[in-house]
Structure 1
Amino acid sequence: MDRRHFLLQLSAALGTTCLPALAHAQASGTRLRVAGGWRMNERDYQIGALSVDWEQGQVKTEFAHTLPTLPHAIVPEEGGGFLAVATRPGTWIVRVDAQGKLVQRLTMAEEGDTRTLDGHVIASHDGRWLYTGETDRKTGAGWVSVRDAKDLRKVAEHRTHGIDPHQILVDAQGRLVVANGGIPRTPEGLKRNLELMDPKLVLLNPNNGEKLGEWSLRDKRLAPHHIAWNRPLADSPQLLGIGLQAEHDDPSKRRDAPLLAVWDGKELKIPTHMVADGYAGDVAAGPNGGFVLTAQFANRVVLWQPQEPAKLLTIGKVQNPCGLWPLDDAPGVTIGGGLGLARWHATEPGHMLRWPAGMAAGNHWAVLG
């Protein structure tokens, strides 16, 4: 493996505080079992699980299932299984158990084929319900479907009060936070009429769909897509990190656009205008109550911390970085790149491993229990 082409740099962030014991962090991150989606040999779209051993330098495929289109989000479930959702405009959602068996599959055609999935799913705190963001094929209106977690079937639906709802999270009170990307799209999912963009963050009551709040940025060409909760320090508020995707007509405006917005439950702000080519592939919790983001077009991984809100610290240079997942009990992340996995930790050397031969990795991955 040519290290220079895969991972140009991974560095430790300075000034981290409240770190767990290093020995525990190293032990917990030595081996991982991860689920994801990929294209195999330029032909087959697959989902499955990989076994990752950082010490031995090995990534092995445990199992794989072929599906008709590209997967997007991967959501782990209790017991070691996971859910996978098709990328926009999505037509399927599946469940795989801990042994690798595909145990449930739902197609949107079974529900009348008037909606497409927008790529993500999230469970309620009690695990009874699943929430999927969807788009009406004819009108473009955004919807969230409430689904029974046992069989994936829809039991209720609510408007998202926007369009292009990409990712949904559940807050501490069980309410839904919806990132309406606001991008008008064709039924095939292609962008159109960007001058009509209307991105917004919306807070919903999951029981009746009541809109509890709405927040927008001044620049309507900044689309919120991926969102993540931070790990707040003591006596600090819970923050939502919002990865922004710039959709300006002028390439220079896209390049110079901000990468991150932060919501504290009351205000939506852009804390830093440091340039990272205006496109966040993903966002995840980072050290010191901050966020790690993949600046995908800039081939960089960056760290934002609330103690220095005007700064974006480059912590890694990775070819085509996208999906992130935080390491358990440690201020670090694993990064899905174009050629393989990278691991960054605030107090440890960086690591990198190539994907198995023939695999072109999808956007998102998740650690399995």
Structure 2
Amino acid sequence: MATRRSFLAGLAALTLPMPSWADVGAPACLAAGKQGERFVLHGLSAAGQSLFAIDLPGRGHAAAAHPQRPLAVAFARRPGTFALVLDCLDGSVRHRLSPSEGRQFNGHGVFSADGRTLFTSEVVAEGSAGRIGIWDTDGFRRIGEWASGGIGPHDLKRRDDGSLIVANGGIATDPTDRSKLNIDSMRPNLTHLTADGHIAQLAELPPELSRNSIRHLALGRDGRVAFAMQWEGDPAEVVPLLGLWQPGQAPVLCPPRPAEAMRMRGYAGSIAMAANGLIAITSPRGGVVMIHDADGAHLATHARADICGAAPDGDGFLLTDGSGVMWSGDQTGLRLLSKDGPAWDNHLVALA
């Protein structure tokens, strides 16, 4: 009888609907922050409402959202000391991920379209050679790794065909204190990895911009890649911090007017691309968000202290700053959505 009951219980479990993001309020994005002495990961609605908050063991950076189930992988600020698989229904830690020996997580990850695989941005601790960790999400077992195509990979995005775009920042760092070791010999690049891990294309910047570390990515519906950079050269130099790339072609850099470029202080913290092709890049150092059209032409600059997080929201953007405020924005300006949140960290991760 016990065996029959177990069998029937198993059948009943199979008929139960799998939990989805709708079961936690259908958040628009995920964001890490600090509230008092607590580090947390929030699920946020497009109206700026916090739908859930889950404690983290330290400062978070970015997160990866499962495409169907209410699971999020929260990554530590690099060099990564934790990557936690969080159940956003009950706040529990489902799994604690550890990179292979001699590897460190590097702040970002992304799921495959079917949710069966997680890809993580990693470096070999000694030398910062890039790796993409591969994890089977049935138990979150590590099943392999690919070369990222460069030094110091940070952000990575999945294209509709299952291939990956990787932002290799080009900076080798000390594995303990993050000090930069190779500024004079940096070679940042964009790498297009096929769905089975082969390098389809590697695109580098011109030699005079070799100190422009490629850090963050946004993908358009047409397959274009928008990328944001951080300048490691002379602070007095004015360089483009936004670029566009269609794999198979050469990258195109998008310099704004020098006076506008100076407001970024050589640092783009996040990037997002709206449904209509508008592009936002933020600079917490400069306290500005820049809006560009689909071709990379500068449209507007809006000032807000410590603004950094950016995610698409229809034809505009959701934005967060370090004082706990969330905004909506486009080329016409910023509009307050919510305040009194945590000190938001660098990124807003869109779920759609």
TM-score for the superposition, normalised by structure 2: 0.82
- Judge conservation of contact 1:94–1:102 (CA < 8 Å) in 2: no
1:84 partner letter: A
Three-state SS of the structure 2 residue aligned to 1:226 is: strand
CA distance in 2 between counterparts of 1:107 and 1:178 reads 21
CA distance in 2 between counterparts of 1:285 and 1:119 reads 20
* Corresponding position of 2:224: 239
TM-superposed CA distance for 1:214, in Å, is 0.7
Equivalent position to 2:32, from 15, 34, 37: 37
Structure 1 stretches lacking a partner, 5+ long: 1-30, 233-237
- 1:175 aligns to 2:159 (yes or no): no
- Sort the Cα spacing of 1:365 and 1:151 in 2 relative to 1 into closer, same or farther, 3 A: farther
2:294 partner letter: P
Once the two structures are superposed, the pairs formed by residues 5-84 of structure 1 within 5 Å of their partners are: 34-41=29-36, 43-49=37-43, 53=47, 59=49, 62-67=52-57, 69-77=58-66, 78-84=68-74
Provide, for residues 259-288 of structure 1, a one-character-per-residue CA deviation record: whole Å limited to 9, x for no partner.
201101112110334313321111111353
- Judge conservation of contact 2:218–2:227 (CA < 8 Å) in 1: yes
* Corresponding position of 1:8: none
- 1:304 aligns to 2:316 (yes or no): no
CA distance in 2 between counterparts of 1:348 and 1:105 reads 41
TM-score for the superposition, normalised by structure 1: 0.78
The structure showing larger relative contact order (alpha-carbon pairs under 8 Å, at least 6 residues apart) is 1
TM-superposed CA distance for 1:121, in Å, is 0.5
CA distance in 2 between counterparts of 1:182 and 1:306 reads 27
- Judge conservation of contact 1:136–1:142 (CA < 8 Å) in 2: yes
- 1:252 aligns to 2:241 (yes or no): no
- 1:324 aligns to 2:310 (yes or no): yes
* Corresponding position of 1:285: 273
Provide, for residues 39-64 of structure 1, a one-character-per-residue CA deviation record: whole Å limited to 9, x for no partner.
232x333324456756xxxx557333
Three-state SS of the structure 2 residue aligned to 1:191 is: coil
CA distance in 2 between counterparts of 1:92 and 1:173 reads 29
Three-state SS of the structure 2 residue aligned to 1:322 is: strand
Three-state SS of the structure 2 residue aligned to 1:88 is: coil
- Judge conservation of contact 2:155–2:167 (CA < 8 Å) in 1: yes
- Judge conservation of contact 2:165–2:193 (CA < 8 Å) in 1: yes
Identity of aligned residues (%): 25
- Sort the Cα spacing of 1:363 and 1:82 in 2 relative to 1 into closer, same or farther, 3 A: same
Equivalent position to 2:245, from 227, 242, 263: 263
Equivalent position to 1:98, from 72, 88, 107: 88
TM-superposed CA distance for 1:80, in Å, is 3.5
> Which range moves more in the overlay, 134-143 or 273-282?
273-282
Three-state SS of the structure 2 residue aligned to 1:252 is: coil
1:89 partner letter: P
- Judge conservation of contact 2:235–2:265 (CA < 8 Å) in 1: no
- Judge conservation of contact 1:175–1:204 (CA < 8 Å) in 2: yes
Report the count of equivalent residues.
Answer: 316
- Sort the Cα spacing of 1:320 and 1:141 in 2 relative to 1 into closer, same or farther, 3 A: same
- Sort the Cα spacing of 1:145 and 1:294 in 2 relative to 1 into closer, same or farther, 3 A: same
1:183 partner letter: I
1:205 partner letter: T
> Which range moves more in the overlay, 189-198 or 31-40?
31-40
Three-state SS of the structure 2 residue aligned to 1:195 is: helix
TM-superposed CA distance for 1:152, in Å, is 2.3
> Which range moves more in the overlay, 278-287 or 31-40?
31-40
- Judge conservation of contact 1:47–1:66 (CA < 8 Å) in 2: yes
- 1:351 aligns to 2:336 (yes or no): yes
TM-superposed CA distance for 1:347, in Å, is 7.5
- 1:335 aligns to 2:319 (yes or no): yes
Provide, for residues 160-219 of structure 1, a one-character-per-residue CA deviation record: whole Å limited to 9, x for no partner.
121110011122321121110001100022322311211011112242x32211101111
TM-superposed CA distance for 1:316, in Å, is 2.5
Three-state SS of the structure 2 residue aligned to 1:323 is: strand
TM-superposed CA distance for 1:132, in Å, is 0.5
CA distance in 2 between counterparts of 1:33 and 1:269 reads 30
